[in-house]
Amino acid sequence: MPIYEYKCRSCAHEFEVFVRPRSSAPKCPSCGKANLEQMISLSAVTTPGESKARLQAARKKNRTAYKHQSHEEFVHEQRKHADDEHK
């Protein structure tokens, strides 16, 4: 189901609408009028290379976050152990 971009001719508000089959004509969420101009938008097509690069970047980000979390847990356990020894 496509997402269309519109610009209201009445108030110049730009917005996107998720269009379902047999849905009513869209109205401007800002002023409520249906005097709209459909904008030309770029398609969301990606190549296999782009998809692979995004996946690799996400995996790297997750690994970094996991290392940070593991380090924080280690530090917390060390402090807890040190506090227990001082009691």
DSSP conformation letters of 13-56: -EEEEEPPTTPPPP--TTT----EEEPP-------HHHHHHHHH
Q: What is the pTM of this model?
A: 0.46
Given a cut of 80, is residue 87 above it in pLDDT?
no
18-25 average pLDDT score: 84
55 neighbors 32 (Cβ within 8 angstroms): no
Name residue 9's amino acid.
R
Angle, CA of 32, 37 and 40, to the nearest 5°: 130
pLDDT at 1: 55
Q: Are 33 and 27 in contact (CB under 8 A)?
A: yes
Q: How confident is the model at residue 24 (pLDDT cuts 50, 70, 90)?
A: confident
- pLDDT value at 44 more than 80: no
